[in-house]
Each structure stands twice: as structure tokens, then as C-alpha cells.
Amino acid sequence: MSSRKNALATLLCAGLLSAGAAHAEVSGSITLTSDYLFRGVTQTDEKPALQGGVEWAHDSGFYVGTWGSSISWLSDSDPDISSQLELDGYVGFRGDFGDSGFGYDVGAVHYWYPGSYPAGFNKADTTELYAGVSWNILSARYSYAVTDLFGIPDSDGSSNLDVAVGWEFAPGWTLNGAVGKQWVAGSAGTATYAFWSAGVGKSFDNGFDIALDFNDNDLIGPDDTITLAVTKSF
């Protein structure tokens, strides 16, 4: 069994064993965004995307979920690629360190890009392990790729660090900010870059959220982007 399958299987089995008869709940969301940015880089050539996901979370802290989005970056890079969809599956544990106010989150995620590819193409499918901590309005998450990173040859071992802040300055209103860095391993290490964002969000009692964000990165070229997203949670 491959290392990525071992990691996912271990987390899944451990979570199911700890689940017992305690309570669990299912939640989900649907989002329409003006541009899908992942780690500061557009996945839809600066065009709108439709996204959605669902998650099952257990009182023990174990959770499993899936999330998907329309994309175009693969077919934009090669017209012989038919993939127009990203599907993610993830599994993990989250909880608190006693009454300290600190939280933790560890798990694994697999990014899958279904479709047809030309012969010899290194598919973008990627598996990452992640670990995160949070305290009050602050959070940080470190991700480590156990496969090649989104189709970049010989890039397994790449990593990413995100640090974010979310401050509710008035009921339903939140100021958000984030900075991150993507390290690309192997011969493509020169592709390493930083990214950041800042914005404001509004939550409504009917389950709708609106977010307006400014995004940028230090890659070559004008990459600053303003995004508007509307989300319905259920």
C-alpha cells in the first residue's frame, strides 16, 4: 500500500474506533465565487466558480468530508486535458487542548482532478498531510505533500504554511487576513512563492455569508485580485 493510502487508512480506522455511540452531525455549503484562488493562484483563469462540500463530524473529534469546485487551469494549460473539476476528500481529528483556548486539527486530504490526459502527462492528483493550531482569532496550518505537487515532476516533499486571522468586530461582521508560503521541492524549487489576502465578511441569520477579499502573491506578473463570494450553509 502506498504511503498516502496508509496515512488515510490509519486516520480513518482510528476515527471509527473512537467514534462509539456518541453524537455526530452533517453540515455542508454551496458557494458561488467570482474567482477560485488556491494559495493565491487562480484556478479558473479569473472567472467565476461554483463550489460545494459536505462534512460528517463526530463528537470524538473525528471528521470526514468532501469538497469540489469547477476549475479550468488544467485545460487552459493543455487543450488535450479534459479535466474541469477538482474533487477533494479529507479525513482528520480536531479538538481543544483542555481549557487553554488552543485548538488543534490534524488530517490528510487528497485532491483529485478527474478527466482525460495526454500520454505521459504527470497528473495533478495530490495527497497532503496537514496539522493546524488555533487560538482566539488566530490560526495556522502546515501541509506536507506525500506525492508530486499538482503535477510538478519530482516535487513530493513540498510544503505549505498558512497563518490567518479572523476578527468579529461587530455582530455578523468579520475582518479576515492571511499570509502563506508555498515551498516547492525538487528541481522546481524556484517556483516557491508567498501569498496573502485581506477582506471583510458578513454572516446572515438565514445561513448566507458574503465575503469580499483582496488577494496577491509575489509570483511574476500582476496577480492582485479582488474576489466576491456568496455562500449558503446547511
pLDDT, one tens digit per residue, over 17-58 is 554 546 899 999 999 999 999 999 999 999 999 999 999 999
Q: Of 7-11, 184-188, 226-230, give the lowest mean pLDDT range.
A: 7-11
Taken in order of first residue, the domains within the chain and their CATH numbers are 3-229 (2.40.160.40)
Positions of E strands within 97-224: 102-112, 126-135, 138-145, 159-170, 173-183, 193-203, 208-217
> Is the four-CA dihedral 182, 183, 188, 193 of positive or negative sign?
positive
Residue 69 pLDDT > 80:
yes
Q: pLDDT tens digits for 123-151?
A: 999 999 999 999 999 999 999 999 999 99
The three cell numbers of residue 75 are 485545460
Mean pLDDT of 209-230: 90
Q: pLDDT tens digits for 141-188?
A: 999 999 999 999 999 999 999 999 999 999 999 999 999 999 999 877
Mean pLDDT of 190-212: 95
> Which among 151, 142, 141, 218 is positioned nearest to 188, based on CA atoms?
151
